[in-house]
Amino acid sequence: MKRRVNVIGVGMTKFAKPGSSPEYFEMAKEAGQKALADAGIPYEAVEQAYTGYVYGDSTCGQRSVYELGLTGIPVFNVNNNCSTGSTALYLARQAIEGGLAECVLALGFEKMAKGALGAKYDDREQPMGKHAQVMVDLQGFTQAPPAAQMFGGAGREYRFLHGTKKETFGKISEKARVHASNNPYALFGQRLSLDEIMASEEVFDPLTRFQCCPPTCGAGAAILCSDEFAKKHNISNPVYIAGQSMTTDYGSSFAPQSMIKMVGYDMTVQAAKQVYEQSGIGPDDVDVVELHDCFTASELLTYEGLGLCPEGGAEKFIWDADNTYGGKVVTNPSGGLLSKGHPLGATGLAQCTELVWQLRGTADKRQVAGARVALQHNLGLGGACVVTMYRRD
């Protein structure tokens, strides 16, 4: 019989621009120590560790957890592109649920280099010149970065299908900046108007510079345990995982030809469906969501993929402000990847951290009133999608 899995400790670093962060193992140490302190347990109580990162050597996980202690536990190194952090969380949950361990650490970190969108996009806070420089790949062809082409192409396909205004995508970024202004852990806390977002240089139609997530450095961590472990350590009414699913690409991801399908839409739909069935909770019951907004087009598509609004209904959902405080469901109260930042290995665990804070009622100015049910969506192309449902009774 499957066991309930609790999240009893979370922690993260403030996200930073490339070139201004500590070493990856120092960030990992900070996040791990915060999660342990939050759980109120010593590192010696941890029986396994799942460590996620994309850029690094094969045993960076060991280098990181050794900062917490040298206890000889199994350490697993995980790489699943942008869904790496939530993949580590998924594996940690399986270990507890399956009775293989009583207490497990999921840890994600990343020290990224500049240039995810090219040099001209490295510093999002600084105004750019009127004329954009061209971006040239190794073969000499002028083009936007591949990820921007894929998600921008998906946004363009959506516009063709539904007649969506370009400004609709920009509204997502405007909302992200408002939310991030209340998050001390976010990389970009400066608010931007819709006009400023739309006036920034076009990266790939319909995406402008301020609609693309920045390269980021940071770390996040979560401590998971069984009910028995929580009781033994006098932890009452913890946040728990009510459902979790990982999907990878389906045949429909590549045929028929569709950029929307290629960037993971069907992975999202199926993972969400499985989680709703596991948890007995539907999208209308969710209070707060942290979803994968690497580009504004990704967030728009994910609203529909998760069932937060009907297919073709994302534009109305956005302009009616149903994606923020006072609307149907608060999405990305942290500011999301667009404004909080996106250190690939840490993103999924930073999302987890934010949602645990929300369900505990400790999210300060970002707090969603009365939040009891939270949904997490973390997507990596290549591909993998992890959707997780959290509850606190």
Cis check for the bond before 206: say yes or no (omega within 30 of 0): yes
Cis check for the bond before 256: say yes or no (omega within 30 of 0): yes
For 118, 244, 254, 378, the CA distances from 135, given in Å and listed in that order, are 7, 39, 27, 28
The secondary structure of residue 391, as a DSSP letter, is E
Give yes or no for a contact between 208 and 197, defined as CB atoms under 8 angstroms apart: yes
Q: Is residue 6 within a helix (H) or strand (E), and if so which, with residue range?
A: strand 5-12
Q: Which of 82, 213, 217, 352 is the catalytic position?
A: 82
Q: Judging by DSSP bridges, how do beta strands 288-290 and 330-331 pair with one another?
A: parallel
SS3 call for 221? strand
Identify whether 225 is a catalytic site residue: no
Give yes or no for a contact between 371 and 359, defined as CB atoms under 8 angstroms apart: yes
The secondary structure of residue 163, as a DSSP letter, is -
Question: From CA 73, how far away is CA 71, in angstroms rounded?
Answer: 6
What residues have CB less than 8 Å from 86, skipping those under 6 apart? 347, 348, 349, 351, 352, 376, 378, 386, 388
Q: Measured on CA atoms in the order 181, 187, 215, 13, is the torsion positive or negative?
A: negative
**Nearest C-alpha neighbor of 82 from the set 335, 287, 295:** 295
The torsion angles phi and psi of 38, rounded to 5 degrees, stand at: -65, -40
Give yes or no for a contact between 321 and 331, defined as CB atoms under 8 angstroms apart: no
Active site residues: 82
